[in-house]
Amino acid sequence: MEITSRTLIMNYTTNISNSYYKTFIYLTICTLFLSCNNNEKTAKDHLVFRYNEHKNIGSLDPAFSKDLADIWATHQLFNGLVQMDDELNVKPAIAKHWAITDSAKTYTFTLRQDVFFHKHKLFHISTELNKTQDSTRTVTASDFEYSFNRLQDKAIASPGSWVLNKVDDFSAVNDSIFQIKLKQPFPAFLGLLTMKYCSVVPKEIVEHYGSDFRAHPIGTGPFKFKRWEENLKLVFRRNNHYFETDSFGQQLPYLEAVAITFLPDKQSEFLQFAQGNIDFVSGLDGSYKDEILTTSGQLRPKYSDDVKMIRGPYLNTEYLGFFMATDEKNIQSIKLRKAINVGFDRDKMMMYLRNGIGIPASGGFIPKGLPGYDDAIGFKYDPELAKQLVQAYKSETGIANPEITLTTTSNYLSFCEFIQRELQKTGLQVNIDVIPPSSLRDAKANGQIDFFRASWIADYPDAENYLSLYYSKNFAPNGPNYTHFKNDEFDKMYEAAYLETNPNLRAELYTKMDSLIMDTAPIVPLFYDEVVRFTRKNVEGLGINPTNLVELKSVKKTQ
């Protein structure tokens, strides 16, 4: 079914304010103007993948790829030693193979010799090629040594420097051998190396541009940088010298270009997608969830002919956290903390507020999809038990009307209000304080709020990353332990997991640690998120993965 702008305006923008409607009309006019040469657009449209980044992009330097928006972009431009597939398996990238020795403390990588940096005029200094043209050179182990040193350089102040915290030393043994030595065994280390922070960059280009490398990136990825008008448009072109091929031996990528726009809100983004002006949208925003999905999470009929939905587990746990070091008596009560955990229906919450997208958190903090997850260790909805726990607390303390304040941001207000209404039935009054995201981050890190909404998206796909939030040596602000949870038995198991090389035994340790956390209830798991992507029917090969990484090298568009 063809979706026209007239249909959209009639069916979707009825409740949109006049100011937003004017913005939409303006964007539509701009789109028509940019598309005036319709024949040329039609002929080449299947070679260009278009998406919108409403959060903007801060830097194209992989050393600063902290936010998902930056990671999506830099992933198209750069490679590291290893990469991760959609099943979270670590695979070769620039390193064609590796060996782990010295009781799992030494990693020796053998590099491919057919990986070239994107062409640039500065490379002619170190080559014999024509000095009037852009040139290139192969990647060597020395480039990784430089890139890792840069990551650790305090003058650069990369937010990814922590990735190398467990590294004792690294060096280029020769042009094709790069070696890393750890301070202690760390089973998740290869997963860490898949992060964009660990991408290889060329010294001569980086030192020429300095901090301006953020807008002049040169990498080895399937696409190369072409043009960036900040806040307007970003364009990548195909890297014709990319080293990877598909299973039939055809060189990747298939696309000729990637075009990224920067419409500032999800409503505008969805309208552009529905008109066919962008090829996919990621996530389920409240502004359009009921427009595109039924309450049971299925595509509505008017979109099913042109749109396909892809969904799968996302390594993201949404939760409420208690600051365990507070003097607030209500927070210190394990009875009230458990009453909150069993006092609301997570299934109903997900159905009403997320159209069934997301997995109700019946397990612990480790999300579904990671070894260590166990749905038997969490809390189940039990309103009668919640009432009994609250009444027992009242009897013990003499507090007739216990109150607790939950701090959140506006994006999650609907979830907090749902929980507030449910807990009122148990006799517990929950007050909600809405503050800006930056204020919540600061207050949470500095122990200034007793009860807060939070989420944890995996930095790397290992349950250790989630459990690090409860290790006593990671108290915020010097680490991610925002609840200040402390348990000696937990700490011993956490440290033992570093030394356990058997993945099954390590997963058992993870489950025991997660169970111990839930016994103490310093958190209220809400749901394990899902990656949801809506694409045009002519997009093939986009795929989906639990880290929500956008992989465009294997994408095709049919005409």
What pLDDT, in 10s, does the model give residues 349-396? Answer: 999 999 999 999 999 999 988 999 999 999 999 999 999 999 999 999
Is residue 254 within 8 Å of 555, Cβ to Cβ?
yes
Q: In the chain, count of helices (H) and strands (E)?
A: 19, 19
Torsions phi, psi of 25, nearest 5?
-60, -40
Determine the straight-line distance between the first and last CA of the chain, rounded to whole angstroms. Answer: 16
Q: Which domains are assigned to the chain?
A: 5-54+222-306+537-557 (3.40.190.10), 78-211 (3.90.76.10), 313-530 (3.10.105.10)
Q: Which of 35-44, 151-160, 170-179, 284-293 has the highest mean pLDDT?
A: 170-179
Over residues 464-468, the mean pLDDT reads 94
| pLDDT over 90, % of the chain | 75
Handedness of CA 381, 383, 387, 388 (dihedral sign): negative
Number of Cα atoms under 13 Å in the Cβ half of residue 112: 17
Q: Residues near 34 by Cβ (< 8 Å), separated by ≥ 6?
A: none
Q: Is the pLDDT of residue 79 over 90?
A: yes
The answer to whether residue 36 scores a pLDDT higher than 70 is no
| The pLDDT of residue 33 is above 60 | no
* Mean pLDDT of all residues in 437-446: 91
For the cut 80, the answer to whether the pLDDT of residue 223 exceeds it is: yes
Q: Give me the mean pLDDT over the 308-335 stretch.
A: 94
Predicted confidence at residue 511, as pLDDT, reads 97
- Taking phi over 0 as left and psi of -120 to 50 as alpha, with beta for the rest, 371 belongs to beta
| Average pLDDT taken over every residue of the chain | 89
Scanning the structure block, which residue is given the tokens 């099954």?
504
pLDDT at 15 over 70: no
- The pLDDT value recorded for residue 459 is 83
How many Å apart are CA 140 and CA 142, to the nearest integer?
Answer: 5
pLDDT of residue 407: 97
Q: Tell me the whole-structure pTM to 2 decimals.
A: 0.80
Asked if 278 and 536 touch (Cβ cutoff 8 Å), the reply is no
- What pLDDT score was predicted for residue 61? 98
The string of pLDDT tens digits covering residues 125-169 is: 554 545 556 799 999 999 999 999 999 999 999 999 989 999 999
d(CA 479, CA 485): 12
Query: Is a pLDDT exceeding 60 seen at residue 523?
Result: yes
Predicted local confidence at residue 205, as pLDDT: 97
Q: Give me the pLDDT at residue 182, please.
A: 96
Per-residue confidence (pLDDT) for residue 43, from 0 to 100 = 64
Vertex 521, ends 519 and 526: CA angle to 5°? 120
pLDDT value of position 22 = 40
Q: Which residue carries 């949208």 as its tokens?
A: 281
